[in-house]
Structure 1
Amino acid sequence: MLVFLVTGATGAGKSTVVRGLRDRGHRAISLDADPRLCAWTDAAGRRAVRPAAPDAAWLAAHRWSWDPARLDEIVAAEVAGDAGPAAWLCGYAANAAELADRFDTVFLLDIDLETMRHRLRDRVGNDFGRAGATAEAADTYYREFTHAWRGRGAVTIDASRDAGAVIAQLLTASGVPPRSLRR
């Protein structure tokens, strides 16, 4: 089984991709939804609780990170399972590049800065990037994150398009059949 990482800046469409892949019968997991995997951490790697309205100083001293041991558990479970030709793990973390060797391919959902800002203003559920210091941080993370993944050779997917086109482009780029018979 192939294990893919689908990543992108906040607002790039990772959660939408998870839903769309699942609707098409593919194994897709939102890494951001796993509380044992994801957490805000300080410079020493200790978990921290994000304030309701973090200021720039707090955001500069903390990052959204994945726990490597938990990620290894998730990947091992997917490889051991019989869920089809591929597992699509979708999420963002500041330390994702350090953990990229766990994946067969990394796909970068690529959007421009204005599209990201528009999506963040309109989204429901996750308030990160909508206003204040988190909006400024989202802009900074966007620039750093997308530049870094492009430099690492991630397969770039035009995520400014509608969800169906994005998923079709992912499936084509991955070589996984467009419709899996498994659910």
Structure 2
Amino acid sequence: MGSRNYLIEGVSGAGKTTVCNELQRRGYHAIHGDRELAYQGDPETGTPTDGFKPEHHIWHVEKVKAWVANQDEAVTFFCGGSRNFSKFIDLFDNVYVLEVDLETCLRRIDERVALDPTDWGGRPEERELIRRLHQTKEGVPQNGILIDATAPIAHVVDEILHQIEANERRCQ
């Protein structure tokens, strides 16, 4: 939905939702991928599946393509994790991967689960999977621009915007 489109990715607890909220607060067009694009489906075919499996947390590819094609906004940020990002990652001008250490990741998930005990990461098997995914970076784009997301949120967003501006200057 923008002339320029950026993907904000990272492991669970990295801060994708918080970054999206801050971008919106600053007046940017930012899409909460986990709320507006996600569903449970086969990552290869897109066919919806029953029940919840983290590896089936995917985005509607056609919706992503349609929003990217719409030029109504100067910039759009797509924030969230998706196991089928390979189906649409090449549509983005850049990909930013939020990085946090495991301790920060788990602390943030604990804070989230304290507010909603049903949220992702509250069950022991979910926590173990989060640890594994944090270690392996499985399911996260490997060629994105790394952003230290342990800093205060304002600094994290400032760094993303700085990276975008620097890239634009290089392309001129």
Q: TM-score, normalised by structure 1?
A: 0.77
How far is the alpha carbon of 1:63 from its aligned partner?
Answer: 1.9
How far is the alpha carbon of 1:148 from its aligned partner?
Answer: 5.3
Aligned match of 1:181: none
How far is the alpha carbon of 1:45 from its aligned partner?
Answer: 4.1
Asked if 2 retains the 8 angstrom alpha-carbon contact of 1:68 and 1:99, the reply is: yes
Aligned match of 2:143: 153
What secondary structure does 1:133 align onto?
Answer: helix
How far is the alpha carbon of 1:97 from its aligned partner?
Answer: 3.1
Asked if 1 retains the 8 angstrom alpha-carbon contact of 2:82 and 2:139, the reply is: no
Aligned match of 2:83: 94
What is the rounded CA distance, in whole Å, between the counterparts of 1:64 and 1:115 in structure 2? Answer: 23
1:109 aligns with 2:101: no
In structure 1, list runs of 5 or more residues that go unmatched.
52-58, 177-183
| CA separation of 1:89 and 1:50: change in aligned 2, threshold 3 A | same
What is the rounded CA distance, in whole Å, between the counterparts of 1:142 and 1:97 in structure 2? Answer: 19
**Partner AA of 2:123 in structure 1:** A
Aligned match of 1:69: 62
Match of 1:17 among 2, 16, 19: 19
What is the rounded CA distance, in whole Å, between the counterparts of 1:49 and 1:122 in structure 2? Answer: 28
Aligned match of 2:9: 7
- The alignment yields a C-alpha RMSD, in angstroms, of 2.3
Aligned match of 2:48: 47
What is the rounded CA distance, in whole Å, between the counterparts of 1:46 and 1:146 in structure 2? Answer: 21
What is the rounded CA distance, in whole Å, between the counterparts of 1:97 and 1:160 in structure 2? Answer: 26
Aligned residue pairs: how many? 160
Instruction: Output one character per residue of 1:126-168: Cα deviation in whole Å (capped at 9) or x when no partner.
Output: 711222211112222223336853xx32111100111111011
Asked if 2 retains the 8 angstrom alpha-carbon contact of 1:6 and 1:89, the reply is: yes
**Partner AA of 1:134 in structure 2:** E
